[in-house]
Structure 1
Amino acid sequence: MLTLIIGFDQKSSTAISKCMITGEAAATVFYNLRQRHPTLELPIIDYDLALLFQPMLVLGISIGVSFNVIFADWMITILLIIIFLVMSTKAFLKGVETWKKETKTKKVDAAQRSQSKGQLVSDIFGFLSGA
């Protein structure tokens, strides 16, 4: 969006975007510091998990900064487009898969409800005719 709306080049917009994301993440962490888990007596932030992610995060940032310096603007643009397409496709396919599972579950639940209602009606009529 920084490239399209404001007109920054790819490298500058990537750096500014990361800065904006960091600011948003810092605000979220600050807000959630005193929040508690809704059902357990734990903080809402899992600090052990956060510490587990830190080495991978630092490594990813280091590699990303190195690639941002090494690659030309057109190469960064192509790589960003490829990453976007791959991740969008995976998310779409996962959404379709989830939708199919939910639809199948709803059909099974509806069939079970209608069968149990039919059984209830036959039990009532059987009880009334036997009385």
Structure 2
Amino acid sequence: MTGYISILLALLLITLTNFASPATSGTYDVRIKDELGTTPLNISCHTNTNKYFPEKSLQWSFWYRFNLSIDGQTQSASCNLKYGNRKTTFEVFNNTRDPHNCPQWTCDWKVRENDVVQLQNKKWKAMYKW
């Protein structure tokens, strides 16, 4: 009986921990293909250079900064992210941050379908928009 209660308590602790904070490892899966249609670009980032905070019912806002050039012009841009069932807003600014260790998100850039996006010195074309 004691072992059964211990297992229940452990499961409860794991559940509470998962809801209390987002994961701190993984990469961004950016749903942008290059002009030849190869696999999406992965980007990772520093968790501690970001700000994230809970909003209404299990939604999170997430902010991160790095260089982005669209059609040859460096500018701010944004995309939508999902983390689990949490729908998230992702803002991109034209500052550089060191990219390492971040929660895993799926990201679709809000650019026009034929825009050429330059990120990390490679050219990428929008594959999807939300």
- What TM-score, normalized by structure 2, do the two folds share? 0.22
- Give the number of the structure whose residues are more often strand, by fraction: 2
- Give the number of the structure whose residues are more often helix, by fraction: 1
Larger radius of gyration: 1
- What TM-score, normalized by structure 1, do the two folds share? 0.22
